[in-house]
Amino acid sequence: MNTTAAEAGVAAFDNGSFGFYNYSQSNVLYSALEEREAPPEEPGDVPVPATALLFGLGLAALGLRRRR
């Protein structure tokens, strides 16, 4: 079954969940349905200043905790 987004009445098919509901045709068998894996999204790079800031905040929190 090859269906475009326009034929299905939607703007686009998003990657993710797949649902198929058939309430009006109880004696219909479907075959050759394929679910293709979406390529994994690459995680974004964390800028070095943000990493250094998080590390510094962690050290400061540990220092304050130890002080109390």
Domain extents for the chain?
Answer: 1-37
Q: Give the closest residue to 56 by CA, choosing from 66, 44, 48.
A: 48
State the Cα–Cα distance between residues 50 and 46, nearest whole angstrom: 7
Residue-wise pLDDT tens digits, 21-55? 666 666 766 666 677 788 888 888 767 788 888 99
CA 17 to chain CA mean position, Å: 9
Task: Count other C-beta atoms under 10 Å from residue 59's C-beta.
Answer: 10
pLDDT of amino acid 34: 72
Tell me the HSE value of 4 on the side-chain side, using a 13 A CA sphere.
2
pLDDT of amino acid 57: 94
Global pTM value: 0.30
pLDDT(62) > 90 = yes
Instruction: Give the three-state DSSP class for 16.
Output: coil
pLDDT(66) > 90 = no
